[in-house]
Amino acid sequence: MNSTSQIELSTPSATILIVDDDPFMLRLMDLILRDAGYEMIQARSGDEALAIIREQPNIDLVISDVVMPGMNGELLRESIKRLWPQCKFIVCSGYPDKCWDIANSGEPIATLPKPFTSSLLKERVSEVLASPFL
């Protein structure tokens, strides 16, 4: 067994856009997921995220805070899913009721409550990227 091929097989390959108005959360998620092998892009607002995805429509996953000034995470998700239905999406929030409301909206939506551990973040990203429904 070649250990090099094992490493290549276990390295994730996806481009992830993280959207949060909190610079600390952006940096934290970026570090955790970049360390896990993902290509990372950051945006500080919904409008900035839409501009980025228009320029780079090959983004595999968007992770967005729900509560942000201007375009919130729910509206950003709706806009992206309408234009790029194949793009996966995770909404995250420090407000448990926001995640609950979104998760129970009648369509499959991946949520991530804040605070989260690095292992939970990586696990949720893996699940969503592997799912044909999210």
Largest CA distance in the chain: 53
**CA–CA distance, 23 with 58 (Å, rounded to integer):** 24
Q: What is the pTM of this model?
A: 0.85
In the CATH hierarchy, which fold is given to the domain comprising 13-130? Rossmann fold (3.40.50)
**CA–CA distance, 114 with 83 (Å, rounded to integer):** 27
62 phi and psi angles, rounded to 5 deg: -115, 130
Taking only the tens place, the pLDDT of each residue in 119-134 is 999 999 999 999 987 7
Taking only the tens place, the pLDDT of each residue in 46-94 is 999 999 999 998 999 999 999 999 998 889 999 998 999 999 999 998 8
